[in-house]
Chains A and B, each alone.
Chain A
Amino acid sequence: MRQLSRETIDQLQRLAAVYKETNERLMEVLLEMQKLTDNCFDRETLGVVSDAMGIPESKMYDYITFYSRFSTEKRGKYIIRMCKSAPCHVCGAREVARSICDYLEVEPGDTTDDGLFTVEFCECIGLCESSPSVMINDETYSDLTPDKIRGILDYYRKEVSP
């Protein structure tokens, strides 16, 4: 089990304080928190978070495992969400997904060895009129082809995270 750094814990606590002000922005706060913790809430992290928020761990777990934005397993710096819903599916999403997985040498659900990418299938991301589409973290990429997505991945490897 990993240990969170003091700095991360401090940041988590600051975010928890935001939630505690009104008890109303749970999702927003947790999404922010997850960005600080390898895109995941594993046992250790959720313990810290639940302590900081004053919400029992079981309730936090109940909540986060329901929503697909959260994970209890460590993920990469960039989460590639490959839409597999019908509008993407009929426009070649499967080929794009295969291209991504082959290029990164992973299977859907896995994280690359360098910890840079996690590849996930997801349901509709609302870019149907320009499918097939994927999201890499909060960025959207549409009208993809197997070639085009490889170029985008290269860009992430070389430019965004050299």
Chain B
Amino acid sequence: MVTLTIDGQSVTVKDGTTLLDAASAAGIRVPTLCFHPDQKVKANCRICVVEVEGMKTLAPACSTPVREGMEVRTISQKVRMARKNILELIFAHHSKDCLQCDKNGTCELQAIAEEMHFDYAVRYPVEIKGDGKKDLSSPSVTRDVSKCIDCNRCFSVCNDVQTVCALSRSKRGYQTLVGPAFGKELAETVCIGCGQCVQACPVGALTVHDDRDEVWSMLDSGKEVVVQIAPAVRVTLAEALGEDPGVISTGRVITALRRLGFDKVFDTDFSADLTIMEEGTEFLNRLKNGGALPMITSCSPGWIKFCETFYPECLPHLSTCKSPQGMFGAVIKTYYAEYAAKDPEDIYSVSVMPCTAKKFEAKRPEMGRDGYRDIDAVLTVQELAKMIRYAGIDFGALREGTFDEPFGTGSGAGEIFGSTGGVMEAALRTVYEVVTGKTLENLDFTVVRGFDGVKEAAFDLGGKKVRVAVAHGLGNARKVMDAVRAGEAAYDFIEIMACPGGCIGGGGNPIRNWKKLSRRMEAVYRLDKALPIRKSHENPAVQRIYRDYLTEPNSERCHELLHTSYVDRSDIVK
């Protein structure tokens, strides 16, 4: 242990602790920009510099380890002068149009400027970065280089964590620019739209591609506007509106959506259960008929695009099932249209997702038929939270609503889709009972839960050993897929989620870190535990749709509506 003094307070911390953490232990928050709790320390922004007795230069708190007897001042005159100048240097190339910025109010740079009382003109010649154009090419992520502060948080997550490598840097010195190689637009790159860069960006340089305006206009259009909400949404929306991470708000989300003018509010848990029926059946068929194994889940559109881009030879391993969003989209414009006696043309189908890649998925040509789209618009949790705020809805005071029929029920299996390992666990619950004909006694497959990057397990399905793996975050997916491609993966069934933590870590959620993620994950399993129905095949709404419309899992109609095909996108790599 090391004892030091920070702003006059003595604090004792473990050897190797940084000044940033030591200050935090002493109840002092040192401002940061390039620092991200989930990333390697970069120490490049220098906003966290502090004064250490006896040192000629200032020390960045994020990278400086504590020493015995150190005397640290985090807010001295020298420190304040340095921070002011650093901020000013950033502002000299920054567009500073906070009022028109998506991050207005949540921006880390803005917060620091406000604390520092930055109310004077920048003393240096101002030259705003970039050519003034925003990159709107990606349906998932919007990039505005005029707001970039070169912190490299996006670069780090895109290259090191997700290993997508869509973001590069060009040149050096003041000419450094973080962005795709050769100044390409995001849509021209290998970007898979996971939105993890949005999660990492401290400012407004990378934001969710915003579709609020279109949805607002459709709410007044006279069409029937229906909306589905993904499992993860109910554990992250309250957080986006200022409540604690992990607060469950299913009923309030439903009420809020009705208040906003959505005509019907459906539960994506329903189509998650449908996915289990389809995917489980597909898996058993592959096992029985010698299909491509391991079979890999297809719920995560970021992962799908990743596989199409980097592992095209592995596409036969992907389940042909659409994602729950995709399945629901098809069901709404067919089954529901019939049920409600509506022309599909007159239904406007919105989904609320924790995911930015779902925006891309909804635009895929496969996701529609007869000239209409299965999903007309995708809103992320971030966007819905803003709509709720704009509508002046006091989210905390809302009553709990219930989902609309005919998709009113979802199972606990559907709920856990939001977390890494959830799809695998949901599938196992159903597949086990289908194969063995027995009732599962313990529904909790805890071995596939948690944040380990790659989780492995084997289960006995009525005498047949099934080996499974679960990976979340594309860096982990890459490890698994390299083994699959080499034919060395000893698995039968793999779940892959593009985002660290699964959908609760999706790019469209409120800004996260691992600490928040674990709270969200706890909430997911709390939800599951509390539900009367925890297996997809026991969901009465699912049973009804098969009886009334789809006949049986993997039927011809199911294939037409609920399954899809994939495209080799590897050309873009070359």
Q: Which residues of A contact B (CB under 8 A)?
A: 43, 46-47, 51, 56-62, 65-66, 72
Q: Say whether B171 contacts A65, CB under 8 Å.
A: yes
Residues A59 and B165 in contact in the complex (CB < 8 Å), given A51-B574, A66-B171: yes
- Complex-state Cα separation, A129 to B167, whole angstroms: 43
Residues A58 and B159 in contact in the complex (CB < 8 Å), given A43-B182, A51-B574: yes
Instruction: Please indicate the chain A residues that have their CB under 8 angstroms from the CB of B168 in the complex.
Output: 57-59, 61-62
Task: Say how far A127's CB is from chain B's closest CB, in angstroms.
Answer: 23
Please give me the residue from chain A that is nearest to B163 by CB atom: A56
| Contact of B414 with A by CB under 8 A | no
Please give me the residue from chain B that is nearest to A47 by CB atom: B574
Task: Say how far B85's CB is from chain A's closest CB, in angstroms.
Answer: 26
Q: Which residues of B contact A (CB under 8 A)?
A: 159, 165-172, 180-182, 189-190, 573-574
Instruction: Please indicate the chain B residues that have their CB under 8 angstroms from the CB of A46 in the complex.
Output: 181-182
Task: Say how far A30's CB is from chain B's closest CB, in angstroms.
Answer: 15
Q: Say whether B159 contacts A72, CB under 8 Å.
A: no
Q: Say whether A66 contacts B167, CB under 8 Å.
A: no
Most chain B CB neighbours (cut-off 10 Å) among A43, A51, A61: A61
Please give me the residue from chain A that is nearest to B177 by CB atom: A65
Please give me the residue from chain B that is nearest to A48 by CB atom: B574
Task: Say how far A90's CB is from chain B's closest CB, in angstroms.
Answer: 24
What are the 9 closest A-B residue pairs judged by CB atoms, nearest first?
A61-B181, A58-B168, A56-B165, A58-B165, A65-B170, A62-B168, A61-B168, A58-B181, A62-B169
Please give me the residue from chain B that is nearest to A56 by CB atom: B165
Identify A58's interface contact among B171, B172, B180, B574, CB under 8 A: B180
Instruction: Please indicate the chain A residues that have their CB under 8 angstroms from the CB of B181 in the complex.
Output: 46, 57-58, 60-62
Please give me the residue from chain B that is nearest to A67 by CB atom: B172
Please give me the residue from chain A that is nearest to B171 by CB atom: A65
Sample of 12 more A-B contacts, CB < 8 Å, known A47-B574, A58-B180, A62-B170: A51-B573, A51-B574, A56-B573, A57-B181, A57-B573, A58-B159, A58-B166, A59-B168, A61-B168, A65-B170, A65-B172, A66-B169
Q: Say whether B182 contacts A61, CB under 8 Å.
A: yes
Q: Say whether B170 contacts A61, CB under 8 Å.
A: yes
Please give me the residue from chain A that is nearest to B179 by CB atom: A58
Q: Say whether A65 contacts B574, CB under 8 Å.
A: no
Task: Say how far A57's CB is from chain B's closest CB, in angstroms.
Answer: 6
Instruction: Please indicate the chain B residues that have their CB under 8 angstroms from the CB of A58 in the complex.
Output: 159, 165-168, 180-181, 189-190
- Complex-state Cα separation, A56 to B190, whole angstroms: 10
Instruction: Please indicate the chain B residues that have their CB under 8 angstroms from the CB of A65 in the complex.
Output: 169-172
Instruction: Please indicate the chain A residues that have their CB under 8 angstroms from the CB of B182 in the complex.
Output: 43, 46, 61, 72
Most chain B CB neighbours (cut-off 10 Å) among A47, A60, A65, A66: A65
Please give me the residue from chain B that is nearest to A60 by CB atom: B181
Please give me the residue from chain B that is nearest to A51 by CB atom: B574
Task: Say how far B168's CB is from chain A's closest CB, in angstroms.
Answer: 4
- Can you report 30 A-B residue pairs in the complex whose CB atoms are below 8 A from each other? A43-B182, A46-B182, A47-B574, A51-B574, A56-B165, A56-B190, A56-B573, A57-B168, A57-B181, A57-B573, A58-B166, A58-B167, A58-B168, A58-B180, A58-B181, A58-B190, A59-B159, A59-B168, A60-B181, A61-B170, A61-B181, A61-B182, A62-B168, A62-B169, A65-B169, A65-B171, A65-B172, A66-B169, A66-B171, A66-B172
Instruction: Please indicate the chain B residues that have their CB under 8 angstroms from the CB of A59 in the complex.
Output: 159, 165, 168
Task: Say how far A44's CB is from chain B's closest CB, in angstroms.
Answer: 10
- Complex-state Cα separation, A59 to B180, whole angstroms: 10
Instruction: Please indicate the chain B residues that have their CB under 8 angstroms from the CB of A60 in the complex.
Output: 181
- Complex-state Cα separation, A59 to B190, whole angstroms: 12
Instruction: Please indicate the chain A residues that have their CB under 8 angstroms from the CB of B159 in the complex.
Output: 58-59
- Complex-state Cα separation, A43 to B188, whole angstroms: 12
- Complex-state Cα separation, A86 to B166, whole angstroms: 39
Most chain B CB neighbours (cut-off 10 Å) among A58, A62, A65, A66: A58
- Complex-state Cα separation, A66 to B175, whole angstroms: 10
Task: Say how far A43's CB is from chain B's closest CB, in angstroms.
Answer: 5
Instruction: Please indicate the chain B residues that have their CB under 8 angstroms from the CB of A72 in the complex.
Output: 182
Instruction: Please indicate the chain B residues that have their CB under 8 angstroms from the CB of A51 in the complex.
Output: 573-574
- Complex-state Cα separation, A66 to B169, whole angstroms: 9
- Complex-state Cα separation, A43 to B165, whole angstroms: 16
Task: Say how far A146's CB is from chain B's closest CB, in angstroms.
Answer: 31
- Complex-state Cα separation, A61 to B181, whole angstroms: 6
Instruction: Please indicate the chain B residues that have their CB under 8 angstroms from the CB of A62 in the complex.
Output: 168-170, 181
Most chain B CB neighbours (cut-off 10 Å) among A46, A57, A62, A72: A57
- Complex-state Cα separation, A95 to B203, whole angstroms: 46
- Complex-state Cα separation, A46 to B159, whole angstroms: 18
- Complex-state Cα separation, A66 to B168, whole angstroms: 11
Please give me the residue from chain A that is nearest to B310 by CB atom: A56
Please give me the residue from chain A that is nearest to B181 by CB atom: A61
Please give me the residue from chain A that is nearest to B182 by CB atom: A43
Instruction: Please indicate the chain B residues that have their CB under 8 angstroms from the CB of A61 in the complex.
Output: 168, 170, 181-182
Task: Say how far A134's CB is from chain B's closest CB, in angstroms.
Answer: 23
